[in-house]
Amino acid sequence: MRRFLLPLLFALLAACASAQHAGSAATQAPAPAGTAPRDSAEWAPAIRAFEEQDARVRRMPGSVVFVGSSSIRMWTTLADDFPGVAPINRGYGGSRVYDSVYYAERIVVPYQPRAVVFYAGDNDLSDGRTPRQVRDDFAAFVRKVQAAAPKARIAFVSIKPSPSRAALLPQVREANALVRDFARGVRNVDYLDVYTPMLDAGGAPREELFLADRLHMNRAGYEIWIGVVGPWLAKLPSPA
C-alpha cells in the first residue's frame, strides 16, 4: 500500500506548489511599458559648446529660450522670425524630452527666461518610449524649470507629423493629447498645436513641408510654426 501512497503524496505536493507559483505570478504587477531612457551624457559635448558660448556672450535675463531636438537646432532664423523677443536657441541633435530634463539647469535655468518654447517627443516615440512617458518627462521638465523660474511661461510645441514616421502617428496623437491635458491643469504652461495644420485634407502629413529626408522641415514647415508660436509670444508680458 505504501508503494502506491508515496508517489500519490509526492504528486499532490507538486501540484500544490505549481498552483501556488501560478497564483503568485498572477498577482505580480506587469512590467512597465516603454523603454528606459538612454544615457543623456551623449549630448555632453553639445552642452559644453553652449556653455562656452555663454562665457563669451552676455546672458540676457528676460529672454525666450527655445530648447529641444533638431527641429529647434535647425531653426536658425529665430531672431528674424521673432524680432524683439531675444531668442536663445538651445536645440541639440536628436535629443529626447528627458535629455532636456537632465540638462535644464545648464541650458535653460541660467538664462532667467521669461518664457521657454519646448519641442521634443518624436525621437522618444521612435526610440520606443510611450506617450505617457513623453508626458511624464515633459511634466518633470516643467517642474524643474518652474522651481527655478516660477514666473516663466512654458509652451510645448506639439509633436509634428513627419512623413518618415507616419507609422507612429497614433502614438504622436496620444502623446500630444496627454501633454495638452497636462498643460490645461498647470499654471503658465501652454500647448501649441502645429500637428493639425501640418496635415492634408485626408489627415496625412503634408510632404511639401519637409526636406528630402521627410523628417526635418523646410521653410514652409517653419512658416506654420511661426504662425502658431508667434501669437503666443506676442501675449507674453514685457521683460522687466
Asked if 66 and 91 count as a contact pair (C-beta separation under 8 A), the reply is yes
Q: Could you count the other beta carbons within 10 Å of the beta carbon of residue 97?
A: 32
Any idea of the CA torsion for 179, 191, 69, 43, to the nearest 10 degrees?
A: -60
Please state the separation of Cα 160 from the chain's center in Å: 11
pLDDT category at 37 given cuts 50, 70, 90 is confident
How far is it, in rounded angstroms, from Cα 47 to Cα 230? 27
pLDDT score of 117: 98
Range 116-124 average pLDDT: 97
Those residues whose C-beta lies under 8 Å from the C-beta of residue 105, and which sit 6 or more positions away, are 144, 148
pLDDT score of 21: 38
How far is it, in rounded angstroms, from Cα 227 to Cα 166? 24
pLDDT category at 35 given cuts 50, 70, 90 is confident
How far is it, in rounded angstroms, from Cα 120 to Cα 125? 10
pLDDT score of 192: 98
Those residues whose C-beta lies under 8 Å from the C-beta of residue 111, and which sit 6 or more positions away, are 59, 60, 61, 63, 65, 88
pLDDT score of 93: 84
Asked if 170 and 205 count as a contact pair (C-beta separation under 8 A), the reply is no
How far is it, in rounded angstroms, from Cα 163 to Cα 161? 6
Q: Taking the CA atoms of 24, 26, 29 and 30 in sequence, report the sign of the dihedral they define.
A: positive
**What's this model's pTM, rounded to 2 decimal places?**
0.81
Range 16-36 average pLDDT: 44
Q: Using the predicted structure, report yes or no on whether residue 8 has a pLDDT greater than 60.
A: no
pLDDT score of 91: 94
Set of cell numbers at residue 112? 532667467
